[in-house]
Amino acid sequence: MIPAGTRVVIDTKGLTEFDGTTGTVITTRAAKSYYPYEVKFDKPQKGYKVRQFAENEIKELEVDTNLRVGDAVKVINAKSPYYLKTGDVVYVNPEYDIRVKIRDTSTDSRPRLGSFLFKRNELVKLSDFRPAMTTSGSPNIPLTVTMSPPTTTTTTTPSEPIDAFERSVVKVYSEARELLLKKHHDYGPKNISRAPGGALNGLLVRMHDKFARIINLVESGAEPENESLRDSFVDMANYAMIGLLVLDGDWPDD
């Protein structure tokens, strides 16, 4: 039996539309049950947040933190616009993130940049989709993935070092992201999603107050007694990020 808390990927051999979806086992019933596993999806699928699956319909998912240039990977961060897309690692920076050339961006409306930065825990090697074990102890049929070579070449080569400006951008983005995730953990989503007048109106009020603080500090030259001027700009950046999540429909309601 696969224990609760295990990260898994759905593989029903084409019998359902959930194939390739990742999630976490939250309930494990008796082995004799036909659908012993209850899986909470990383992102709701077809209106479902949780579904039950048979033993041979889920496979344990390993996250490899030792990715190398050339590895074929899949994005498993449900909040990423590239969730469940596959790509190829084109650059690994041990200090920061991993750059991946996404293979299929046809459904993405964002401008093409050639390759994108991800955290290690947002990626999994395609070869690391481990088959789950049946009750008899023999593995099910492994999930197979047909890998086709990228149709275009990336402008970033494996030997090209990340320059000072890009390193600074990554550092600031990472700092803002960590702060946003920590505050989201403390506040939850309702302070935005259920703000008076709606989420965007709530953001406008917060951004107006923060911008007024920035203007006052810059024009007066006063030394702030609480958060620094830099902290205020980080907050503004995160408010803008929340606004994008709201517009994209990715900000949770509860």
Report in angstroms the alpha-carbon separations of 168 from 48, 117, 174, 175, 176. Answer: 40, 14, 10, 11, 12
Q: Check: pTM over 0.95? Answer yes or no.
A: no
Q: Domains along the chain?
A: 7-60 (2.30.30.40), 166-247 (no CATH)
For 33-45, what is each residue's pLDDT tens digit?
Answer: 677 888 988 888 8
Q: Is the pLDDT of residue 151 over 50?
A: no
High-pLDDT (> 70) share of the chain, %: 76
For 79-100, what is each residue's pLDDT tens digit?
Answer: 778 888 888 888 776 555 777 7
Report in angstroms the alpha-carbon separations of 203 from 25, 70, 199, 239. Answer: 35, 41, 6, 7
